[in-house]
Structure 1
Amino acid sequence: MKIKNIFLVGLASFGMASCNDYLETEAPSKLTDDYVFSTAEEANRLLNGVYQATCSSNTYGNAYLTTFCLNSDVEFTTSSAELKSASHNEWKLFDGEADGSGLESTWNAVYAAVERANNFVNAAENSDLYKSGNEDLNQMIGEAKCIRAMNYLDAVILWGDIPFSLTRTYDNESLIMPVASRDVILSTLIEDLRSAAPKMKMASKITEGVERCSKEFAWSLIARMSLFRGGYSLRHNDGDTKGYKMERPADYLDYYKIARTYADSVIKSGSHNLTKDYFTVFVDESNYKVATGDDPIFEIPFVQDVNGNIGYIHGPKGDESSAGGTEGKNIWGKSSGSVGLNAFYRFTFDSEDSRRNTIGYWSYSYDGTPVAVASYNNYCNKWSKFWDEAGTLGKNSSGNTGVNFPYMRYADVLLMFAEADNEIEGKPTDEAKAALKAVRERAFRSANNKSDKVDAYVDAASTKEAFFDLIVKERAWEFGGENIRWKDLIRWNMYNKVVYQQFWKYYGMGCDRDDSYDYEGIFNKLPGVCFYKVLSRDSLNKYPEKYTAEKYPELASYPNKTLDVLEFFRYDSDDLTIVNLWDNFGMNVDYMPSEVGSDAWSKVTFFSWLDDETGIAKAPCRCSLRGYIYIDVYGVITPASMPEFNSLDVLETLPPVRYMLPYPTDAITKSQGAYKNYYGY
């Protein structure tokens, strides 16, 4: 039986076993030693309650992919507000406060999941079933420990030093959980999983497959935690509630070695591969297909019409009619498309990289008509309700898609291994190169010159620094829309540089492509006016010799085979090719298509970001990183100490980004003075 089919039973059975707020004083836990795990089947039902807590919309089901997916060179959400929001929750802009809306609910959701895991582990390890050496129960204990570790890891990334305990509230002397340092927390969790993993099963031996935590997921999670344990993070100055700096622990290399060991264990196990094409992995998830042995190592198992907004917040925005729902051939209902990708991100890809095809350029009206979008970002089209061939959720649906999210992928393990090995050895080894090549092989599987894009590309990096640069770029291309990029940049101590550069890219492009801010020399190469036509699905199917994957990859790979799409203008001659979605016409304006007549093309203008009234960039280009750097309508930079861009040398003088979240006000109040905020909150 699939795990999601028995979630609700597990939730009902386990409902009394967790507390809504870990600081509550009333009946914190009712799963005591008096409760007996009489059978593995009974334990399994209770374990489903642990999984269910992890599916909360306040964490993995929505908030982690939207509210707390911070802006970077990959994911990017804009704001036109010149002043801080009254809700104090603009975390993506680094401009929130301790009373920010949504902060407390996410904090409580994390600790509710942790409490359920602690309840399960403690009760299970005190049961007669455990004492008898039951293998199934040992597997389940490992699963609960994995769920606990991933919740703690992602909380540590967001908050740094946090309240920490592996003991259920029932057994604690105090209801106020003590704060532990992030280093102690991650080291403890790593050792906890190193002990649990040997007793766990491979995904192929588990009925639910990758919808349950497996041995290889435990190994992968150890590797991920180790890289964060050994990476940089924002740390407050001793005794100073306002100051902060970026530091990494002195023993970081020890943890890179652990990361390499456990990533290598996954690789050598042969339990996963990258056989499926890149886009297919996510399209299959959108069609509720669960495959064991390919890229996904652990998928968070959401339930249709119950939880999970994957494919609602991702993919093209889909409007509903004024009466509600969608009509005609649009059978997929409403979608928000709120996970935005940086407007410049798509131009970083090689033209033959299949991962570029997961970026979206049009939305849909209620009747299924495609609408060109010229915004400050693009859609992340990895998952979408529109990809579900059966239209399972129906015309009147919105969120709670039940589409699984791949929390851990094999591609990540390969890249973690390559990164750790390069850092340890001080140069790219053959093993590290092979891991990186495996990821790129899938991306360029259909490329005409695959060997150049894979083997030659990787082999050209002969130094530690050059190979690390390849890893940095590869992880950007591989994990778009998965809430990984900003976290990587933090542990590499690159976040302030990237945030600063993105600000000036948006601002410079908004200032009529001001080349004084164009440190990459790309502004005048990017398309301005872009011509397009609505292309019916019948026409697309009728002329396969025209709409080839080589010339129109965004159409050939498009997963929805029912709705119309947009054809973007392309000019081809013996000596000139202009692909309007990617190229600026420049001096070749004579080749622009007609906007009138029987062969009329519509047009949309990209990067029209200049405010004619102020003469500088529009608000979204100035306000979207407001908590770190902001320029007002008069051109004044805030903070005053922030340097204006004039060369790449300025990157070495930048202050760190205050990405850390504050403890919620309510948690501080209930802690009776045990907790306090740092980082200037």
Structure 2
Amino acid sequence: MRKYIIILSLALLAFTSCKDYLEVNSDSKYEDNYVFGNKEEINRVLTAVYASLMSNDTYGNAYFSTFALNNDVEFTANGSQLRNVNGEDFRAFDGTQDAPSIQRFWNKQYEGIERANIFIEGVKSSSVYSESDLDIKQQIGEAKVLRAMFYHDLVVMFGDVPFTTEPAVKRNSLVTPIEDRNKILSFLIDDLKSAASGMKYAVNLNFGVERASKEFCYGMIARMALTRGGYALYPDGSPGVMKRMPDYKDYYRIAMQYADSVISSGSHSLNKSYRRVFIDQVNNIVTNNDDPIFEIPFLRRSSGNVGNITGGAVGSVEGVTNHPWGSVNGGMRLNAFYHYSFDRKDIRKDYTVGMWSYDVNIVPQVLVDYSMYNNKWSKLWADPSKALGSQTSGNTGVNFPYMRYADILLMYAEAVNEVENGVTGANGLKAINAFKEVRKRAFLTSDHSEKVENYTSAAAVSKDDFFMAIVNERKWELGGENVRWKDLVRWNLYSKVVYDSFKEYYIVASLSGGDYLNGFEKYEKLPFNKFFRRINNPNNIDIYPNTDSRFRIIDFHNPWEATLHPGPGWEMATFYSWYDDANSIPRPQILYSFRGFVNAGPGGNWEALNPNNLPPVRYIFPFPNQTIQMSNGVYKNSYGYN
């Protein structure tokens, strides 16, 4: 039996420790008379599917930087009233179809889909294939889960997209038809349901959570079901209309069932401390039965910018540092007010939100900016033996946790609350316990009575209260992981949150310039002046993950509210100086960071918007211009894109 597939040139390097090192040549060639002759060939082509995850055009960088749209958690300032000439202002909801990044992302996602389609077709057509072969069923399942992952992110970002499960050489047309997003998600959910039974748990897989496991398959079903059951932007004028399908509760039931499948399996837990999850990822330590469900496996000194664009910035001289960790870009930022939303005793706060950087002399400098650092990963958190070198920046090889067990627990709680109109009965109790499990890790045991038990009991009194508790808990638990805007979309809360975030920045900026707008009273106690001192490294990984004595740290007197000067030895940093006194208006970064939805200044729209009847945020990305041209007019952009 002879079948045609694309054979991808690649090399599978030896796996070292529990970290898999994949090195893939980007070239490929077409063969029209080839079959898989053995399992080794099957594994090599499956490796190529994984390799499509590793590009900096997608999950290695752009996924959590270029396409981390502004909200009340992730935030990047934009100081221009005019659109970027390259069309790259996606974070401000003002990108264009000509942006190079959108074409690269699109191409890489469809490369991964094509490789998965080739693999599945090739294996099923091979003489090696057997329904009773558990290894092959696992590998087919992996390819299907990765294909679903690629398609799901395309659907979330682009809406209705080209969809096929056949390799290109089997299709009659080079232009793949556009399919309704709901049909795509429904197909993929059913596809993974059938694949799940033949898959293995991560603890039984070589390389564990760096491969698609049974629980990741279940988790992707739950995630796609919530997307399918949630709100989305549909093309109906400019920018479109937010709606969800009449059968949405059917998909919440699916999410509930499959999130519960992960929980009931007992294959994962939250035993590690919150910070340890991310510190271990920086140190290439993979744990297969804890919080991570699936980690995208990047290669040291070869791929991935986690730990470089995340973490506080670290300066260098001509790209060289005087320590072995190398420079850090620190460009993936958080909203300046995000850390104020946490409970003061929430131990996630001080690890997630970074408030200082290091200059070229390793002197810590307080960050006085429009945003905060995302400290969940930093190259500095690596043990000295794992440091990449003084001349390094990107290509960190730090794994990105695409799905975590905490996410599963919160998805389950959300689905039960929606399906059962609150959290009562046996499923309600299980939802409450899932919610508590996430909060327990966020607080010291001594605080559990108040912050976990009492807090959850108060939230569980009604469906609406429990829903808002989930909205907030996901905000605190998943901050900096580029989940927030997608959650807000499916809850139909994105417009309100963006408007409120803009107004918060605008009010505080005006207050710093002496203008008092409605609502300013809430911000009068903000610490516009924060007092700090530089102290020796505490040499305690639970306080500061880098224990090298050269890295002194910043000690704040009280970073949460206005205080008097504490006395000698304390320096002062002035925050929120965001007002342009010369023009009597907040600075451009305040006016235009949410430009495509709400903006101020000349021609601004913010005062004309009705906060009780806001238009939808145009979060949907345009089809790339080159893709439209190559379709000979079959593909067209909606949502007001030209």
Question: Which TM-score band applies after superposition, normalised by the shorter structure?
Answer: over 0.9
- Residue of structure 2 in register with 1:360 after alignment: 354
Shift of 1:669: 0.6
Q: What SS is found at the alignment partner of 2:148? A: helix
Q: In structure 1, what residue type is equivalent to 2:605?
A: T
Contact preservation (8 Å) 2:131, 2:137:
no
Q: Distance in 2 between matches of 1:412 and 1:657?
A: 24
Distance change in 2, residues 1:500/1:411 (3 Å):
same
Structure 1 counterpart SS, 2:481: coil
After superposition, residues 465-476 of structure 1 pair within 5 angstroms as 465-476=464-475
Match of 1:96, SS state, is coil
Q: Which residue of 1 aligns with 2:3?
A: none
Query: What is the distance in 2 between the residues matched to 1:324 and 1:231?
Result: 45
Counterpart in the other structure of 1:248? 244
> 2-side partners of 1:129 and 1:497: how far apart?
55
SS at match of 2:295: strand
1:84-119, Cα deviation, whole Å (9 max, x unpaired): 111111001011111123111111111111111111
Instruction: Report what 2:544 is aligned to.
Output: 558
Instruction: Report SS of the residue matched to 2:373.
Output: strand
Unpaired runs of 5+ residues, structure 2, are 1-14
| Root mean square deviation, CA, Å | 1.7
In 1, Cα distance between equivalents of 2:137 and 2:597: 47
Partner AA of 2:28 in structure 1: M
1:33-72 to structure 2, matched below 5 A, reads 34-72=33-71
Contact 2:295 2:402 (8 Å CA) reproduced: yes
- The equivalent residue for 1:435 is 434
Q: Which residue of 1 aligns with 2:332?
A: 339
Query: Could you tell me how far apart the structure 2 residues matched to 1:136 and 1:515 are?
Result: 66
Post-superposition CA distance 1:212-241 (Å, at most 9, x none)? 00000000000000000000000012xx5x
8 Å Cα contact 2:186-2:228 kept in structure 1: yes
Residue 10 (structure 2) pairs with residue 7 (structure 1): no
Q: What is the deviation of 1:324? A: 2.9
Q: 2: distance between equivalents of 1:4 and 1:433?
A: 35
Matched, 1:264 2:238: no
- Paired AA for residue 328 in structure 2: S
Shift of 1:608: 1.3
Post-superposition offset of 1:163: 0.5
Which of 570, 583, 586 is the equivalent residue of 1:614?
583
Q: Distance in 1 between matches of 2:474 and 2:634?
A: 39
Kindly provide the amino acid, as one letter, of the partner of residue 383 in structure 1: W
| Displacement after TM superposition at 1:243 (Å) | 5.1
For 1:387, the aligned partner's letter is W
**C-alpha displacement of 1:41:** 2.5
Shift of 1:5: 4.3
- Counterpart position of 2:11: none
Matches within 5 A, 1:439-450: 439-444=438-443, 446=444, 448-450=446-448
> 1:516 maps to what in 2?
517
Distance 1:151 1:168 in 2: 15
The answer (yes or no) to whether the contact 1:505–1:518 under 8 Å persists in 2 is: no
Secondary structure class of the residue paired with 1:383: coil
Counterpart amino acid of 1:527?
A: P
Distance 1:215 1:15 in 2: 31
C-alpha spacing 1:517/1:319, structure 2 compared with 1 (3 Å)? farther
Secondary structure in 1 aligned to 2:585? coil
Matches within 5 A, 1:260-409: 260-321=256-317, 323-327=318-322, 330-358=323-351, 359-390=353-384, 391-409=386-404
Query: Shift of the alpha carbon at 1:31?
Result: 5.6
Counterpart secondary structure, 2:586: coil
Residue 298 of structure 1 aligns to a residue in which SS?
Answer: strand
The C-alpha deviation readout for 1:451-483, integer Å capped at 9, x for no partner, is 110011001120000000000000000011100
- Partner amino acid, structure 2, of 1:558: Y
Question: 2:259, 2:408 within 8 Å by CA — same for their partners in 1?
Answer: yes
Question: CA shift at 1:556, angstroms?
Answer: 5.1
Provide the C-alpha distance between the structure 2 equivalents of 1:289 and 1:515, rounded to a whole number of angstroms. 51
| Structure 1 residues not aligned, in runs of 5+ | 18-29, 545-554, 571-578, 595-599, 644-649
Q: C-alpha offsets along residues 435-465 of structure 1, whole Å, 9 cap, x if unaligned?
A: 1000000111x25322110011001120000
Q: Deviations over 1:249-302 (max 9, x none)?
A: 110000000000000000000000000000000000001101110000100000
Q: 2: CA distance between counterparts of 1:200 and 1:499?
A: 41
Aligned mates of 1:243, 1:84 — CA distance in 2: 17
Q: Quick one: distance in 2 between partners of 1:262 and 1:517?
A: 46
Task: Mark the CA change 1:132 to 1:438 in structure 2 (over 3 Å): closer, same or farther.
Answer: closer
Aligned-pair distance for 1:35?
2.3
Query: Are 1:603 and 2:602 counterparts?
Result: no
Matched residue, 1:675: 635
- Counterpart in 2 of 1:626? 595
For residues 185 and 477 of structure 1, what CA distance do their matches in structure 2 show?
Answer: 31
**Whole-angstrom CA distance in 2 between matches of 1:602 and 1:162:** 54
Q: Aligned to 1:288, what secondary structure does the other structure show?
A: coil
Contact 1:236/1:245 (<8 A) preserved: yes
Q: Secondary structure at the match of 1:131?
A: coil
1:345-370 deviations in Å (ceiling 9; x for gaps): 00011111111022111111123221
Classify the secondary structure of the residue corresponding to 1:103. Answer: helix
CA distance in 2, matches of 1:517, 1:180: 47
Whether the 8 Å contact between 1:62 and 1:308 is mirrored in structure 2 is yes
Deviation at 1:601, TM superposition (A): 2.5
Counterparts of 1:228 and 1:354 in 2: how far apart (Å)? 30
Match of 2:567 in 1: 593
| Aligned partner of 2:28 among 8, 11, 16 | 16
Residue identity opposite 1:297 in structure 2: I
After TM superposition, give the deviation of residue 637 of structure 1 in Å.
2.2
Determine if contact 2:527/2:575 at 8 Å carries over to the other structure.
yes
**Equivalents in 2 of 1:372, 1:565: separation in Å?**
12
User: Which residue number corresponds to residue 582 of structure 1?
Assistant: 560
Q: Is the 8 A contact 2:510 2:516 kept in 1?
A: no
| TM-score, structure 1 normalization | 0.88
SS at match of 2:532: strand
2:532 pairs with 1:532: yes
Q: Distance in 1 between matches of 2:19 and 2:114?
A: 21
Query: In 1, Cα distance between the equivalents of 2:239 and 2:581?
Result: 40
Identify which of 636, 656, 659 aligns with 2:616: 656
1:105 aligns with 2:104: yes
With over 3 angstroms needed to count, the CA separation of the structure-2 counterparts of 1:565 and 1:524, relative to structure 1, is: farther
In structure 2, C-alpha distance between the alignment counterparts of 1:652 and 1:264, rounded to whole Å: 36
**Contact 2:54 2:298 (8 Å CA) reproduced:** yes
Tell me how far apart the structure 1 counterparts of residues 390 and 239 of structure 2 sit (CA, whole Å): 52
User: What amino acid sits opposite 1:592 in the alignment?
Assistant: P
Question: Is the Cα contact below 8 Å between 1:534 and 1:564 reproduced in 2?
Answer: no
- Rounded to whole Å, the distance in 1 between the matches of 2:123 and 2:31 is 10
1:167 alignment counterpart: 166
Task: Say whether the 8 Å CA contact 2:19–2:285 is kept in structure 1.
Answer: no
Structure 1 residues 443, 611: CA separation in 2 closer, same or farther (over 3 Å shift)?
same
Indicate the residue corresponding to 1:177 in structure 2.
176
Moved more, 403-412 or 34-43: 34-43
CA separation in 2, counterparts of 1:433 and 1:6?
40
Deviation at 1:6, TM superposition (A): 5.0
Task: Give the partner amino acid of 1:382.
Answer: K
CA distance in 2, matches of 1:448, 1:617: 44
Q: Does 1:203 align with 2:177?
A: no
Q: Would you say the 8 A contact 1:668–1:674 is kept in 2?
A: yes
Residue-by-residue CA offset, 1:364-386 (whole Å, 9 max, x unaligned): 11232211111111111111100
Q: How far apart are 1:602 and its partner, in Å?
A: 2.1
Q: Aligned partners of 2:527, 2:358: CA distance in 1, in Å?
A: 23
